[in-house]
Amino acid sequence: MGPLAGITVVDLSTLLPGPLATRILAAAGARVIKVERPGGEDMRRMPPLRDGRSLVYEMLNAGKEILELDLKDPADREQLFGHLARADVLVEQFRPGVMARLGLDPERLLERHPSLVICSITGYGQEGPLARTAGHDLDYLAAAGLLALAQRTAEGLPALPPVLLADIAGGAYPAVIAILLALQERQRTGRGRHLDIAMTANLFTLVPWALAQGTSGSGWPEPGSGLTNGGSPRYAVYRTADDRLLAVAPLEERFWQQFCEAIDLPPVLRDDGIDPEGTRQAVAARIARRTAAEWEAAFDGLDVCCTIVRSLAEAVEHPQFRGLFRWREDGVPVLPLPLPAELLADGN
């Protein structure tokens, strides 16, 4: 049945942040009713497609009941109110003001359904000068200062991160956390509340070292600087003899000393605080002497925090992760979720 058995969620969201949040709730046993406009939401038509169906849409919305309603139509809106009367959670992802124009203002909804937990996911929150600004993940990274910290490409442009940080780490995950906390609070008080999830604001939580450096008066970090952003030889990527890459992250002194021993780094260079760039160049020269497989063998059994940079195709086939990836009977891949298998009600 899952830990959320008996919880009903009405999902008005589209694309990624809200649908991923409600996918997690559904996997934990909640009944999720996803309301889409007539003809379905935009994600239904986004590639990659299989037999005309969007695989990403299918992965994000498995285990949900799909209901198409025109929320501008009074009759359809009354049908939605009927579902909300029996719901525990409402998730929406409209820009601020849209819910009010549809007659679904959170304050009015809570007057009508005082135990309802309403979760609004937006780029910038319900208030402020950017609140009604349209955007996507890249815009939110730019607005929060994270894109400016990215390593530069050969053209001098910030390298785009390979993950949708704002949508997932700033939106979907905080939404799930907040919803679960609000449901726990409701057990004590009997009352719901309106949750304001601002994806861009939540991005600042992801850069504690950079914020600590900047707010301490030490100067704001630049691209390629800082402990975990390319400024330390102990946290960097090096090229091997066979042109593979090795991620090296022995930050703690005990790991660093084991690493230095393993690559035979001269003692004079092991104190990387004296000449960080000299240490970096010496490490790079030694890593370049052996292949990736040779380094993997050399580091086996040592606490050196070093990992071969695998392609995504290699990673999903690795014995450690292969069990995460499964397919439905219709050939659609199942999205791995950040929940222990013991909490998954639907096996997904």
Number of domains in the chain: 2
CATH number at 300 reads 3.30.1540.10
pLDDT band at 25 (very low <50, low <70, confident <90, very high): very high
Question: Residues with Cβ < 8 Å from 219, sequence gap 6 or more?
Answer: 213
Asked, for residue 70, whether it belongs to a domain, the answer is yes
- The answer to whether residues 103 and 151 belong to one domain is yes
Asked, for residue 226, whether it belongs to a domain, the answer is no
pLDDT at 330: 87
Asked, for residue 224, whether it belongs to a domain, the answer is no
Asked, for residue 314, whether it belongs to a domain, the answer is no
Asked, for residue 1, whether it belongs to a domain, the answer is no
- Dig out the tokens for 191 from the structure: 């009352």
Query: What phi and psi, each to the nearest 5 degrees, are found at residue 39?
Result: 95, -10
- The answer to whether residues 252 and 286 belong to one domain is yes
How far is the C-alpha of 55 from the C-alpha of 226, rounded, in Å? Answer: 38
pLDDT band at 1 (very low <50, low <70, confident <90, very high): confident
- The answer to whether residues 282 and 153 belong to one domain is no
HEC letters along the chain = CCCCCCCEEEECCCCCHHHHHHHHHHHCCCEEEEEECCCCCHHHHCCCEECCEEHHHHHHHCCCEEEECCCCCHHHHHHHHHHHCCCCEEEECCCCCHHHHCCCCHHHHHHHCCCCEEEEEECCCCCCCCCCCCCCHHHHHHHCCHHHHCCECCCCCECCCCCCHHHHHHHHHHHHHHHHHHHHHHHHHCCCCEEEEEHHHHHHHHCHHHHHHHHCCCCCCCCCCCCCCCCCCCCEEEECCCCCEEEECCCCHHHHHHHHHHHCCCHHHCCCCCCHHHHHHHHHHHHCCCCHHHHHHHHCCCCCCEEECCCHHHHHHCCCCHHHCCECCCCCECCCCCCCHHHCCCCC
- pLDDT top residue among 221 and 123: 123
pLDDT at 218: 87
What is the rounded average pLDDT of the residues 87-116? 96
In this predicted structure, the answer to whether residue 301 has a pLDDT above a threshold of 90 is yes
What is the rounded average pLDDT of the residues 280-287? 98
Q: What is the mean pLDDT of the chain?
A: 95
Under a CB-based contact definition with an 8 Å cutoff, are residues 62 and 334 in contact? Answer: yes
- The answer to whether residues 23 and 121 belong to one domain is yes
Query: What phi and psi, each to the nearest 5 degrees, are found at residue 85?
Result: -65, -25
What is the rounded average pLDDT of the residues 121-142? 97
In this predicted structure, the answer to whether residue 347 has a pLDDT above a threshold of 80 is no
pLDDT at 348: 58
- The answer to whether residues 161 and 84 belong to one domain is yes
- Dig out the tokens for 199 from the structure: 């994806």
* pLDDT tens per residue across span 207-240: 999 999 999 998 998 998 888 888 899 999 999 9
What is the rounded average pLDDT of the residues 134-138? 96
pLDDT at 113: 96
- The answer to whether residues 79 and 192 belong to one domain is yes
pTM greater than 0.75 (yes/no): yes
pLDDT at 331: 87
pLDDT at 42: 94
CATH number at 34 reads 3.40.50.10540
pLDDT at 346: 64
Asked, for residue 209, whether it belongs to a domain, the answer is no
Asked, for residue 316, whether it belongs to a domain, the answer is no
Find the catalytic residue in 70, 73, 136, 271: 136
- The answer to whether residues 46 and 173 belong to one domain is yes
Question: Residues with Cβ < 8 Å from 221, sequence gap 6 or more?
Answer: 149, 209, 210, 213, 214, 229, 231
Find the catalytic residue in 88, 139, 167, 272: 167
Highest mean pLDDT: which range of 169-173, 336-340, 343-347: 169-173
pLDDT at 227: 85
Domain that holds residue 267: 236-309
How far is the C-alpha of 269 from the C-alpha of 271, rounded, in Å? Answer: 6
- The answer to whether residues 135 and 272 belong to one domain is no
Establish whether 136 is a catalytic residue. yes
- The answer to whether residues 156 and 185 belong to one domain is yes
Establish whether 113 is a catalytic residue. no
In this predicted structure, the answer to whether residue 137 has a pLDDT above a threshold of 80 is yes
Asked, for residue 243, whether it belongs to a domain, the answer is yes
Under a CB-based contact definition with an 8 Å cutoff, are residues 34 and 22 in contact? Answer: yes
Q: Find where tokens 């990992």 sit.
A: 307
